[in-house]
């Protein structure tokens, strides 16, 4: 395998390429001038940098001009079939001027490898043959992975029939034996006449012609390298006689075997097919410095383009007419920061501004309002009017929040109230009275208060109910518009809370909302590594939400739900939490749950989250939007993409969303990957979860559009990738940290597209990647 006669490549000034029976795959790559390729049904006009792949048994002619320079690569059918068994069942759809968007980088790679073959050929170095073979196999890989299409059925031929592949492989292995068409027909239980027609229809060559080409191909090596005579070489390669060998050789190559051997030993020119010499008007082009520079430019253009390993392929048709337009689900976003005094920190203020402006955050979640360190202790003084206030820090913090128009979502814990219940309520009333006076009733009336007691509690339900009722009464006295609700620890597996928390069913008329947690990690036993253990978490958050709603309805507690803490499956350590990119999982969950709940909660950043829990392991509790140094975590961009959606949902599935708005369309593609995250540290395993999609959009309004595409994945926007890339044993300083935060953004590309009502493109999505497309109509 791999002899030069298995393929041929030349750089030519093409005036005319005459029609032939092409038993193989041909690539024409125009590097200068223009070339018109005439096929059976249409003509293709190729300009500079254009290329076309012509399939086996596809007749064509081509006309150029005096300045037309073309790289012409021909790969024989027997050679291609020996490496790709389905060669005859498929064709390659590859014309650079009409490829679907998303295939551009594959075309860039094709140009690169064609140029590399020509460069290697010109060098004539010791390694040139290896370099040419390497580039050739890369070309074949690109064609078979990214440009193949199934052939339409022909009369009497099934595209799924592997018979021809089996026969051609047998001919390659037994070419030196006296094999006949009748032998193969009997073996395949076919008539000789039917097999003859069938073979010619699929391969483009008659049976004997195909077998003769294989025998001639193998004979060339013997003529070049062995001392055997012509008769011995003929017999060794399956020819019935030396005369038959000589006749066939001269008909195919335009010279006798003896002449070829003499020229080969003398360093003569390579074999050219007789038909090409007689009918085709071309002239080989010497590789001048300007030509070599042009070839090198194709290699340089592909420096930033990497070969995409084979990924699962899917075809997806998305039609606007397939469903009734619906509103994009919207839930208020709550950003938990811990204690109120954290608002006074500069980095927290920066993050709050970003969260409000970019993520539509409306409420700030705080804890330990009365018993924490925000409210200052009263000091004894002989002043008639004290010059210090216990609310000094609180006033500054809440004043800042009011300026941003951010309300408070306050967690009131039973355990804090129970330490000294009377003192707690006295302080709470003083605090509320002060807030009403300083910031106004209108602002305070928007606040939410969430009563909280942990899942496993020994407190009787009557006691929990009594304290809640008192808390509600105190808050409602200040303003009935203040929302007062309770956290409900709900078991997804049991589909019910523990008995201590069943008091809420008896107090339904006094509850404004129900808060809950939904964490996929709750359902996993991390001591086990079986894949099935982790599959139970698929759609866990949505499933738990719906089960909770069903329970509440059955107990006449049909109240607004607020998902205050939640997570995707991340594993059992902070390490896998960083390594396992999960952008698509977060986006999918946010979109699905937003239609079921009134509110959705997030943690502000890693630092405050860890500080809140002190020595406790918080690896599973909540999604953080920011890192320590204002870097944006995957949850930030996933939520930002959801907030960018506008208009109405016109099509939606598990891995895509299509909206239509006044000026165009938005399409989100997701590669939601569910697997054991403990394996996510193995990059080789992650590669198996990448996905290639051929997307077909139907029902769009035809016209000219500007296409903006955001790519968000492990390598484009994930902070930890940049963090590890820039890290060293000496650590990171502020300059490097700032650069990492600024550079870790989704990749944006912009192009102009002319779209029809049936438009398609290709997309390659990494593990849990998000691709956000925005089609804006141009005026």
Q: Which of 293, 308, 323 is where one domain is finished?
A: 308
Residues 145 and 235 in one domain: no
* Cα–Cα distance, 115 to 112 (Å, whole number): 5
Residues 117 and 204 in one domain: no
pLDDT of residue 159: 39
* Cα–Cα distance, 444 to 428 (Å, whole number): 13
* Cα–Cα distance, 460 to 451 (Å, whole number): 15
User: Which CATH number fits the domain that encloses residue 304?
Assistant: 2.60.120.280
How many domains does the chain divide into? 2
435 in a structural domain: no
Task: State the residue for tokens 């008091």.
Answer: 503
584 in a structural domain: no
Query: Quick one: average pLDDT of 455-479?
Result: 95
* Cα–Cα distance, 465 to 449 (Å, whole number): 15
Residues 196 and 127 in one domain: no
pLDDT of residue 160: 41
pLDDT-based confidence at 289, cuts 50/70/90? confident
Query: Quick one: average pLDDT of 512-517?
Result: 96
Residues 142 and 160 in one domain: no
Q: Over 50: is that where the pLDDT of 131 sits?
A: yes
CA dihedral angle for residue 145, residue 308, residue 691, residue 718, rounded to 10 degrees: -170
pLDDT of residue 727: 75
Residues 173 and 80 in one domain: no
- Percentage of residues in the chain having pLDDT higher than 90: 46
208 in a structural domain: yes
pLDDT of residue 618: 44
Torsion sign (Cα): 521, 522, 524, 525: positive
Residues 146 and 159 in one domain: no
pLDDT of residue 276: 43
Residues 159 and 147 in one domain: no
pLDDT-based confidence at 530, cuts 50/70/90? low
Query: Quick one: average pLDDT of 538-558?
Result: 91
DSSP alpha helix (H) spans, 441-526: 441-444, 461-478
- Select from 398, 385, 400 the least CA-distant residue to 437: 398
Residues 146 and 183 in one domain: no
pLDDT digits (tens, 9 = 90+) for 161-183: 567 777 887 887 788 888 899 99
Burial track 406-436 (b if 16+ CB lie within 10 A, e otherwise): bbbbbbbbbebbeeeeeebbebbeebbeebb
Domain that holds residue 105: 1-151+284-308
pLDDT digits (tens, 9 = 90+) for 330-387: 999 999 999 999 999 999 999 999 999 999 999 999 999 998 888 877 655 555 555 5
Q: Over 70: is that where the pLDDT of 525 sits?
A: no
Query: Quick one: average pLDDT of 246-262?
Result: 87
Residues 80 and 170 in one domain: no
Residues 56 and 130 in one domain: yes
Tell me the average pLDDT of the chain: 85
348 in a structural domain: no
pLDDT digits (tens, 9 = 90+) for 476-499: 999 999 999 999 999 888 888 888
Q: Over 80: is that where the pLDDT of 677 sits?
A: no
131 in a structural domain: yes
Beta strands in 258-378 (DSSP E): 281-284, 313-319, 326-327, 332-338, 361-367
333 in a structural domain: no
pLDDT digits (tens, 9 = 90+) for 687-736: 667 888 889 999 999 999 999 999 999 889 988 777 777 777 777 788 88
User: Under a CB-based contact definition with an 8 Å cutoff, are residues 634 and 624 in contact?
Assistant: no
* Cα–Cα distance, 640 to 653 (Å, whole number): 20
Residues 1 and 96 in one domain: yes
Percentages of the chain per state (helix, strand, coil), in multiples of 5: 45, 25, 35
* Cα–Cα distance, 569 to 539 (Å, whole number): 10
User: Under a CB-based contact definition with an 8 Å cutoff, are residues 476 and 445 in contact?
Assistant: no
User: Under a CB-based contact definition with an 8 Å cutoff, are residues 51 and 27 in contact?
Assistant: yes
pTM for the model: 0.73
- Select from 725, 753, 749 the least CA-distant residue to 737: 725
383 in a structural domain: no
DSSP code at position 307: P
pLDDT of residue 317: 92
User: Under a CB-based contact definition with an 8 Å cutoff, are residues 540 and 502 in contact?
Assistant: no
168 in a structural domain: yes
The burial class, CB within 10 Å (0-12 / 13-18 / 19+), for 78 is buried
Q: Name the least confident of 5-9, 312-316, 439-443, 649-653.
A: 312-316
User: Which CATH number fits the domain that encloses residue 263?
Assistant: 1.10.10.60
Q: Over 80: is that where the pLDDT of 586 sits?
A: yes
Residues 1 and 145 in one domain: yes
- Select from 106, 104, 136 the least CA-distant residue to 120: 136
pLDDT of residue 219: 86
- Percentage of residues in the chain having pLDDT higher than 70: 85
* Cα–Cα distance, 560 to 438 (Å, whole number): 30
């Amino acid at each position: 395998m791999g002899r030069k006669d298995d393929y041929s490549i030349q750089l030519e000034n093409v005036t005319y390429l005459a029609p032939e029976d092409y038993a193989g795959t041909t690539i024409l790559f125009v590097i200068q001038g223009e070339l018109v390729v005439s096929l059976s049904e249409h003509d293709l006009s190729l300009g500079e940098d254009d290329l076309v792949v012509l399939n086996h048994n596809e007749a064509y002619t081509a006309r150029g001009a005096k300045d037309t320079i073309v790289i012409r690569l021909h790969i024989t059918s027997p050679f291609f079939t020996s490496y790709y068994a389905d060669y005859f069942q498929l064709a390659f759809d590859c014309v650079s001027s009409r490829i679907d968007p998303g295939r551009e980088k594959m075309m860039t790679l094709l140009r690169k490898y064609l140029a590399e073959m020509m460069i290697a050929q010109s060098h004539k170095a010791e390694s040139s043959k290896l370099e040419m073979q390497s580039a050739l196999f890369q070309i074949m890989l690109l064609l078979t992975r990214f440009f193949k299409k199934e052939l339409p059925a022909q009369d009497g031929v099934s595209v799924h029939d592997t018979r021809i592949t089996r026969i051609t492989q047998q001919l390659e292995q037994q070419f030196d034996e006296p094999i006949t068409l009748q032998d193969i027909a009997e073996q395949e239980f076919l008539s000789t006449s039917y097999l003859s027609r069938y073979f010619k229809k699929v391969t483009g060559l008659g049976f004997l012609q195909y077998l003769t080409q294989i025998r001639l191909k193998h004979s060339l090596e013997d003529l070049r390298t062995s001392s055997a005579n012509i008769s011995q070489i003929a017999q060794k390669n399956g020819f019935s006689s030396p005369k038959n060998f000589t006749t066939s050789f001269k008909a195919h190559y335009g010279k006798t075997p003896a002449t070829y051997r003499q020229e080969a030993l003398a360093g003569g020119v390579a074999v050219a097919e007789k038909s090409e010499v007689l009918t085709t008007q071309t002239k080989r082009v010497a590789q001048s410095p300007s030509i070599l520079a042009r070839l090198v430019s194709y290699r340089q253009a592909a420096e930033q383009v990497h070969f995409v390993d084979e990924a699962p392929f899917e075809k997806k048709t998305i039609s606007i007419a397939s469903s009734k337009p619906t509103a994009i689900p919207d839930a208020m976003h709550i950003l938990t920061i811990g204690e109120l005094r954290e608002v006074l920190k500069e980095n927290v203020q920066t993050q709050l501004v970003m969260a409000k402006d970019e993520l539509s955050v409306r409420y700030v979640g705080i804890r330990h309002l009365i018993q924490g360190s925000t409210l200052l202790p009263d000091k004894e003084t002989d002043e008639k009017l004290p010059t210090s206030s216990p609310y000094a820090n609180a006033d500054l913090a809440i004043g800042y929040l009011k300026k941003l128009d951010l309300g408070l979502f306050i967690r009131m814990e039973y355990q804090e109230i129970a330490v000294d219940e009377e003192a707690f309520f006295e302080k709470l009333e003083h605090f509320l009275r002060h807030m009403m006076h300083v910031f106004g009733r209108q602002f305070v009336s928007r606040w939410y208060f969430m009563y909280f007691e942990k899942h496993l509690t020994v407190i009787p339900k009557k006691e929990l109910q009594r304290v809640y009722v008192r808390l509600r009464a105190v808050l409602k006295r200040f303003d009935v518009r203040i929302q007062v609700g309770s956290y409900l620890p709900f078991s997804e597996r049991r589909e019910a809370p523990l008995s201590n928390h069943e008091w809420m069913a008896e107090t339904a008329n006094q509850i404004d909302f129900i808060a809950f947690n939904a964490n996929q990690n709750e359902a996993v036993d991390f001591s086990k590594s079986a894949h099935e253990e982790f599959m139970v978490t698929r759609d866990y958050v949505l499933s738990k939400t719906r089960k909770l709603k069903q329970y509440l309805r059955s107990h006449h507690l049909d109240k607004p739900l607020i998902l205050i803490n939640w997570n995707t499956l991340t594993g059992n350590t902070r390490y896998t939490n960083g390594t396992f990119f999960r952008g698509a999982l977060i986006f999918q969950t946010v979109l699905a749950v937003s239609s079921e709940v009134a509110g959705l909660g997030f943690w502000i950043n890693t630092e405050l989250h860890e500080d809140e829990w002190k020595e406790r392991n918080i690896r599973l509790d909540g999604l953080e939007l920011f890192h320590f140094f204002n870097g944006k975590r995957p949850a930030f961009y996933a939520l930002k993409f959801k907030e960018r959606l506008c208009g109405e949902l016109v099509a939606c599935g598990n891995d895509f969303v299509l909206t239509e708005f006044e000026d165009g369309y938005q399409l989100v593609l997701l590669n939601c990957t569910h697997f054991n995250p403990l394996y996510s540290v193995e990059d080789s395993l992650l590669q198996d979860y990448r996905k290639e999609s051929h997307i077909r959009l139907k029902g769009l309004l035809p016209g000219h559009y500007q296409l903006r595409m955001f790519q968000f994945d492990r390598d484009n926007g994930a902070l930890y990738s940049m963090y590890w890339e820039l890290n060293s044993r000496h650590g990171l300083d502020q300059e490097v940290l700032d650069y990492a935060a600024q550079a870790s953004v989704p990749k944006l590309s912009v192009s102009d597209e002319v779209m029809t009502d049936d438009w398609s493109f290709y997309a390659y999505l990494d593990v849990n990647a998000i691709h956000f497309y925005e089609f804006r109509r141009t005026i």
